[in-house]
Amino acid sequence: MIIQDEKQRALEIFEEASQDKKFVKAFGANRITRDNVFWAYIIVHSRSIWWHGERHLVPLLDLVNCGEGINEYGEVTRAHRTDFVENVAVARANKSYKKGEQVFENYAQPNYIYWAYHGFALDENSHDCIL
C-alpha cells in the first residue's frame, strides 16, 4: 500500500503543479512533466530526514550507505541519531572508521520502509518484520 499511496501523492503534486500558473512560469511548461515531478518527488523523499516535525533535504545522505554493521565491541551498531547543537543538525558516526573505510549508518528501519522509500533492502536486518 505504501508505494501506491506515494505514487498517488506524487500524481496529486504533479496535477497541482501543472495547474499553478506561477509555478509553471517559474520552471517552464515543458519542464512540468509527470516524469520530472515524479523524479523530484523521489529525490526529495529519499534524501531527506525529519527533525522537529519537518522534512530537511540532506543531499550528503548519498555518501553514507545503510547497514547495521558491528562495532568495535562486537555489537550491532546503534541506530542513527541526529542531535541539535545551536540550530545545527549533528550526526555522529555509529562506530570508529579508519581513513578510507566505507561509512555506514544504521537507519534502524524494516526492509519494507527501505524498499518503499529508498529502493533497497538489507540481507541482514534486525529491524525487519513480516511486512
Residues 41 and 75 both lie in one domain: no
Residues 122 and 87 both lie in one domain: yes
Residues 66 and 33 both lie in one domain: no
**pLDDT tens digits, the chain, 131 residues: what are they?**
677 888 899 899 999 999 999 989 998 888 999 999 999 888 888 777 777 788 888 777 667 888 887 878 888 888 888 788 887 778 888 888 889 988 888 889 999 988 887 788 999 898 998 86
- For residue 48, give the 3-state DSSP assignment: strand
Q: How many CA atoms lie within 13 A of 17 on its CB side?
A: 21
Residues 26 and 70 both lie in one domain: no
CA distance 25 to 18: 10
Tell whether 119 is covered by a domain: yes
Beta bridge partners of 105: 66
Instruction: Determine the structural domain holding residue 34 and report its residue range.
Output: 1-46
- Note the pLDDT of residue 61: 67
- Note the pLDDT of residue 114: 87
Q: How many CA atoms lie within 13 A of 97 on its CB side?
A: 13
Residues 121 and 84 both lie in one domain: yes
Tell whether 24 is covered by a domain: yes
Question: Which residue, among 125, 101, 105, has the nearest Cα to 115 in the 3D structure?
Answer: 125
